[in-house]
Amino acid sequence: MAGGWGCPHEANDICTKVNGLPCDPGMKGCVLYGRYVFANEDKNARLRQKQARERTADDTPDESGFHP
């Protein structure tokens, strides 16, 4: 491991959280999945979906019919 961050679920480059697969930060099932932006855009799909839902929720009127 290089750098200043280490995953507590990684042991010898294997993810102990995701079925013993090779550690790939941001893969589906990873504690980072959908929470952070990665340089590899393929890993950002879940985060982008989450952001789109939040924007849609912000655009819907509340129970009183008020639209911000």
pLDDT in tens, 8-42: 889 999 999 888 899 888 888 888 887 888 888 88
pTM for the whole structure: 0.53
Contacts of 24 (CB under 8 A, 6+ apart): 15, 30
Band (67; pLDDT cuts 50, 70, 90): low
DSSP 58: H
> Domain for residue 25, yes or no?
yes
Residue 10's DSSP bridge partners are: 15
Would residue 3 count as lying in a domain? no
At residue 12, the pLDDT reads: 92
Residues spanned by the domain of 35: 10-59
Domain for residue 17, yes or no?
Answer: yes
More confident of the two residues 65 and 20: 20
Domain count, the chain: 1
* pLDDT tops 70 at residue 63: no
Q: Is residue 68 part of a domain?
A: no
Q: Is residue 64 part of a domain?
A: no
Residue 22 placed within a domain: yes
In a domain, 42, yes or no: yes
Beta strands in 1-68 (DSSP E): 10-11, 14-15
